[in-house]
Structure formats: structure tokens, C-alpha cells
Amino acid sequence: MAEADPIRASLVPRLVFSTDQLPAGLDDLTRFRLWRDFQEEHVGSLEVTYGEEQPFWGRMEFAQFGACGIGRYSGAFTGVTRTARDVARDGRQSFSLALSHGSAPVSVNLRGRHALLNPGSATLVSYADPGQFQFSPGFSLLEVSLPHSELSCLAAHAESLIARPFDPGQPALRHLQRYVEILFGSDEADTDPLLIAHIEATLLDLIALAVGAQRDAAHIATTRGLRAARLAAILAEIKTGFADAAFSVERVAKRVGLSPRYVQVLLHETGETFTERVLELRLQRARSMLASPLHRDSQVGQIAYACGFNQVSHFNHCFRRRFGLSPTAARGGAKLV
């Protein structure tokens, strides 16, 4: 599905197509044909079937980061088939790590093998071969694709893993899924070449670990990709929960499946401790609320508590030290940096 195409990536780094965006008056067949045409142009040659007893809907998102593509797909589909004719038509030779992401299993048939992917599990797919996906209502599928040559360099035994279910409990697979979700959750356009290269390297490393890379490749992947994905998950948790006064490093550690000590180590490598990062986020939110007309009737104490501070005096002290004036003075329109 998500094809490794750096040229396309440089032109359209992130694409979303949803039938919710189509005019309401279109009949199901027209909606399906529009979906199929978009999929053919941007994803690849596939035969899609859907249950005609229910209204057709579908959503696809995909993005490209160098050699790696990520995709997320859901809809009223019953199956996707890639025939020998489809393989010959687009010449796609990529691998794809397919992860079952919804509430229903996904069935994969490829090279005479069958893999039933329960939610949270994954398998390796080769788009150089004919194959078939079968879906149940409630499915969602994540894919991370990369060229055949890239994965072969990292894991020489990758071919033997085609359509073999992976252990959903392995850390690399969990972090890969979380990292892809973070990438899809970002509203920013990933156009910085250095950032794209970093994301590509992280995806490659996590895939290599998930499929069992050995020796040097495994060492590089562990110290680079898995570490980066864990840090990204930690930062996402902090960004989500910092305004809770009871927020703690222990809570973050439990959410991401790491020890509090290791969370602190990864954050220290960024140049900011957990406490420093949380305090800065709270102060920036307080500054924004103080400057907003929406909160002009809120007392300073109410804003302090809403941003995660337990004591107004502590908030006043931290705010003055950070911005050079009191929260009350900041409401007068003074410029803060």
C-alpha cells in the first residue's frame, strides 16, 4: 500500500483521502470508484472488494520519509487482492510490515502461507508477489514499507518471515506502532531534509529490530532507532499530560513501558530534565492563557491551577524568573520571550 517513492515524497509528503470529504449526494458505486482511482494513482495496483450490503466508506493516509513509507487504512472493505497482473503493472518490489491496528483481525495470504493478525500483531508482506488481505468490520491496518534492498541489508533472513505472524509483545514492534501513530498525529509538514532523514533512519532501525536483525545491524538499530522511538513516545506523553498537577515521571514510564530511571536518562540526553520540560510547558500555557481574551475573567490562581501548579506563590515565582515580570503584569500586554 504505502509505496517507497522519494520523488513522490518530495512533491506530496503526506496524503489523506477519506470518503467523508466527498459530496454527500454521490452513490456508493461512484464513491467506491473515486476511492479506487485515488488508490491506484497514489498507492499501487490492487483489487479492492467491499460489502455492498452496507454504505461504502474508506479512509487512507500515507506519507513518505526517504525510502520508508507509512500508511494507515480503514473502511468498509472485505478484501484487497494483488494479482500477478498487478505485480507486472506497477513493478513494485518493496517489503511492508503490516500491523493490525483496529478492533478486528486481518487475514493475510501470501506465498501459500496464511497469517491471522489479531489486533496488535504484525507480519511481513512482499509486494513483489501476488497475495491477499481479508478484513472484518472494525479493522484498521498500519503499514511501514521499504525497498527490498534496504531490508535485505539489515536482515538477510527477511524472506523467510513473509506471512509469518510476529510476537505482538516484542518491544520493537510496540515502539514502531507507537512511533507511526506519533508521525500521523503530527499536524506539521515534514519537509526538512535532516528531519526526514532522521525519521527514515528510525523507521528502518525499528523494522530491522522487529524482524530480528543480527550483529552490527542490531546494535545500530538498538542504539539509534529504538532509542529515538522511545524518546518520541516519552515526549508525546509529556505533551499530553503536563497540565495535570499529579503528573509524574512514574506515570510516563508506566505509559511507555519503561523504567522511570530510563525515562530520565533519555530526557537528560536532550538537555532538559523531566522537571524542566514539564515546567516550561506549564509556563508557556499560562503565558498563553494570560494573554488570551478568553481567560480575561479568570483569576491568576485559577490559571495557575489549570496549568498544573499546586501553589500560586510557586507559580508567581517561576513565572517571574522565566519571563521577567509577574503574571499580573503580563496581562497588561508586555512582551514576553
Encoded amino acid at 296, one letter: R
Please tell me which residue, 106 or 335, carries the higher pLDDT value.
Answer: 106
Q: In whole angstroms, what is the distance from residue 136 CA to residue 75 CA? A: 10
The HSE-up count of residue 114 (CA atoms within 13 Å, CB side) is: 4
Are the beta carbons of 99 and 207 closer than 8 angstroms?
no
Are the beta carbons of 213 and 222 closer than 8 angstroms?
no
Are the beta carbons of 97 and 124 closer than 8 angstroms?
yes
CA-wise closest residue to 73 among 94, 95, 48: 48
276-330: CATH number: 1.10.10
Rama region for 331: left / alpha / beta (φ>0; ψ in -120 to 50; rest):
alpha
Query: Topology of 6-237 in CATH?
Result: Jelly Rolls (2.60.120)
What percent of the chain has a predicted confidence (pLDDT) above 70?
A: 87
CA-wise closest residue to 18 among 96, 70, 76, 64: 76
| The predicted structure's pLDDT at residue 11 | 37
pLDDT category of residue 221 using cuts at 50, 70 and 90: low
Q: In whole angstroms, what is the distance from residue 180 CA to residue 63 CA? A: 10
Are the beta carbons of 142 and 2 closer than 8 angstroms?
no
Average confidence (pLDDT) over 16-21:
91
Q: Give yes or no for residue 146 having a pLDDT over 90.
A: no
Listed ranges 11-20, 39-48, 176-185, 195-204; the one with the highest mean pLDDT: 176-185
Q: Give yes or no for residue 217 having a pLDDT over 50.
A: no
Are the beta carbons of 105 and 136 closer than 8 angstroms?
yes
Q: Give yes or no for residue 222 having a pLDDT over 70.
A: no
pLDDT category of residue 282 using cuts at 50, 70 and 90: very high
Q: Do domains 6-237 and 276-330 have the same CATH topology?
A: no
Q: Give yes or no for residue 9 having a pLDDT over 70.
A: no
Are the beta carbons of 92 and 3 closer than 8 angstroms?
yes
**Residue ranges of domains in the chain:** 6-237, 276-330
Q: Give yes or no for residue 219 having a pLDDT over 60.
A: no
Q: In whole angstroms, what is the distance from residue 281 CA to residue 271 CA? A: 15
pLDDT digits (tens, 9 = 90+) for 88-103: 888 887 889 999 988 9
Mean pLDDT for the chain overall: 83
| The predicted structure's pLDDT at residue 243 | 93
pLDDT category of residue 225 using cuts at 50, 70 and 90: low
| The predicted structure's pLDDT at residue 71 | 92
What are 124's three cell numbers? 511481513
User: DSSP string of 197-261?
Assistant: HHHHHHHHHHHHHHTT--HHHHHHHIIIIIHHHHHHHHHHHHHHHTTSTT--HHHHHHHHTS-HH
pLDDT digits (tens, 9 = 90+) for 150-178: 776 666 667 778 888 887 888 888 888 88
